[in-house]
Every structure is written in C-alpha cells, then in structure tokens.
Amino acid sequence: MTTPTELYNLRWNSYFSNLINVFGEHQSQEALVDVTLGCEGQFIKAHKLVLSACSTYFQKIFESHTNPQLLILLNDVKFRDLQLIVQFMYKGEVKVADSDMQQFLSLGKMLQVKGLCSVELHDKHKTQPNDAKTTEKVTLPPTNTRNTAEKKVTCNKVVQIDPKPNTETPPAKKRKLPSPAPPDPKTKVSKDSSPVENQDLSRIPRPPNAFMIFATQWRKKLAVEHPNESNKDISVRLGTMWKSLSQETKEAFYEDARRADEEHKLKYPGYYYSPKEARSRKAITNNNKTDRIESSPEKNYENEELIEIKFEEHDEDSLNQSNGSH
C-alpha cells in the first residue's frame, strides 16, 4: 500500500500586482496587441483579452467578430474619456477630473465596464466615493433605446481589417428622380413660386450618401496621420477603408444617409439631383472663372474633376469604378 504524497501549496504573493503591471506595460508598448480603438482621429491599441474581461460590450463584439485584428470606431466619444476608460480596465483605478466625471461614467455605462456600469452621480459635480467599489452588476447595453432629452454615447461601428476587399453590393436604397430641364433665362418666375423654384439649384447641396458621411468623418483624420499625402492619395485610402468595412458597419452609415435624405426632403421639397448636370454646372462655373486661360481638352478636365470629388460627391458605385481604374 502506497503512502499518500504530501502536497505543498505554493503561493506568489505579488501575482496580481505583477499581472496588472505586465498588462499595463504591454499596452503602453503596444506589445501583442490585437485590437485598435479609435475616436476623434486618434487611436489606442489594446488586447481583446483585457477588454473582454472588463467589458461585457467588448466581449460580445469579439465573440461576433473573430478576425485577428479589429478596428473599433466609437462615435461621439472624446479621446480623453476613452483613454481614461482603457486605463481603468488595465489598472483597476483611474483619476478623473470633476468636470469630466459625467461623460466618463456615461461612456463606462455604454461600454458596460465592470465597476462603472451601475455608478450613479447623486450630485451634478460630485460622485459618491463608495459607488465605484460596490458595483458588480452587469446589464445589457441599451443599444435599442434612445433618450431624446439626453445625448448618449454610441459605439456601433466595427471595422474588420481584411486584406480582401468586400465585393458585396450593399443593400442601400437609392432615390432616383428625373432630372430637371435646364433653366431658360427668358422664363420669368412668378410670385407664387415655391422657395426651391426661386432658388438656384446649383446652390442647393445634395443630400449626403453613406460613403460621403463616412468620408467626412475620416478625411481630416487621415490627412493628419498622413500629412505628406495628396488629397487623391487620401481619397484612395478612404475607398480602401470603405471596401473593408463589414456589411453591419456599413448599414449604420446607410441609416445616417437615410435620415439625412429625409431631412433634405423636408428642407428642400421638390429638389432633384442629377450627377451629370451637377458636373456640367460645375464645369461651366470653372470655365467662366478661367475664360482667359487656355483650357485643356474636355475629356482630361472631366477625369481630373472626378478624381478630386469622387469620394465626396459620387455614390458608392462611382467609387468602385474609380478605384478600378487605378
């Protein structure tokens, strides 16, 4: 009969403190990072393991998107607040200014950060010190509800970095309207005409489509990151980023475009947009400005104009055609 082996319990007293320090060092040195958080044109690299352990919101995102590298864009989020949230998740504590406490806690709730998601401010300027220590309850993020009285932070865009561009045609609905007849300079406008009829159609901005909204958000940010690149190079980058977006991410931009289109209909009833006529009006305006300068051939001029504005005034189909020509 064998005698029982004596067992020894080995304990590393500084295990947890060492773990926190190592995670913090890896994050600051961007070592072994596999996810990037972005807002206001700035980015923070982090680890999925740490974010999912501290945030139910991030955990659900990583379970749904299994790509090795992810870029998560957070709308209406200040970069300083995002830095504080990441610091809290890596170190378990953070110092927040009194003036930033409300926005910091709001972001913590939306991201379902453990230790922050149930903290309530009893005073507009001060929060109870014991709240952050006694909260462990986690609830699902209220992504389907909107409070019109208070603006809430949203994080609804996930970009999957994929070397193969997404070639699927997005299910966006495009409003095709007949083009208006060219205005006759001899025609007189009656006093009973609507404001849109009296207004020069060339001065009315067209409603932005999904890609235009995306490009508006990211053009300046990319220009800051790549100051030596031309507007054409930035446009090519935007097109590549747009193709790499998942369909779920694009749908958020399509929804913004639909809302913008409805607002445009209310503001400019009876407005019609024709890309051909828009280019013609712009070409005529530019020709009038340069009537004393020898003009280049019409074909070359049109190609140069398309390169300059293809990511701002064209829809996604035009974008794909332009990228295919490079």
**136 and 81 within one domain:** yes
**144 and 204 within one domain:** no
The domain boundary, picked from 160, 175, 207, lies at 160
What's 93's domain CATH number?
A: 3.30.710.10
Would residue 10 count as lying in a domain? no
Strand order from edge to edge, sheet including 154-160: 42-46, 35-39, 70-75, 154-160
**222 and 126 within one domain:** no
* Angstrom distance (rounded) from CA 227 to CA 44: 20
**217 and 117 within one domain:** no
CB 237 within 8 A of CB 313: no
**144 and 23 within one domain:** yes
The domain boundary, picked from 108, 137, 160, lies at 160
Q: Which long-range contacts (CB under 8 A, 24 or more apart) does 42-45 make?
A: 42/79, 44/82, 44/83, 44/86
Would residue 225 count as lying in a domain? yes
* Angstrom distance (rounded) from CA 176 to CA 68: 40
* Angstrom distance (rounded) from CA 155 to CA 111: 8
**155 and 200 within one domain:** no
* Angstrom distance (rounded) from CA 138 to CA 118: 8
For 139-182, give the secondary structure using H, E and C. CCCCCCCCCCCCCCCEEEEEEECCCCCCCCCCCCCCCCCCCCCC
pLDDT tens for each residue of the chain, 326 residues long: 567 788 999 999 999 999 999 999 999 999 999 999 999 999 999 999 999 999 999 999 999 988 888 999 998 899 999 999 999 999 999 999 999 999 999 999 999 999 998 787 765 444 445 544 444 444 444 444 444 344 444 444 454 444 444 445 555 555 555 555 555 554 444 444 444 445 555 567 778 888 888 888 888 888 888 888 888 888 888 888 888 888 888 888 888 888 888 887 888 777 666 666 666 666 776 666 555 544 444 444 343 333 232 334 444 454 455 445 45
CB 61 within 8 A of CB 158: yes
Would residue 183 count as lying in a domain? no
* Helix-helix angle 15-28:79-91, to 10 degrees: 150
Would residue 149 count as lying in a domain? yes
Count structural domains, the chain.
2
* Angstrom distance (rounded) from CA 317 to CA 187: 36
The domain boundary, picked from 160, 182, 209, lies at 160
* Domain hosting residue 303, numbered range: 195-325
* Angstrom distance (rounded) from CA 276 to CA 141: 45
What's 267's domain CATH number?
A: 1.10.30.10
* Helix-helix angle 79-91:101-110, to 10 degrees: 70
Would residue 216 count as lying in a domain? yes
- Give the three-class secondary structure for 17: helix
Does the model's pTM come out above 0.85?
Answer: no
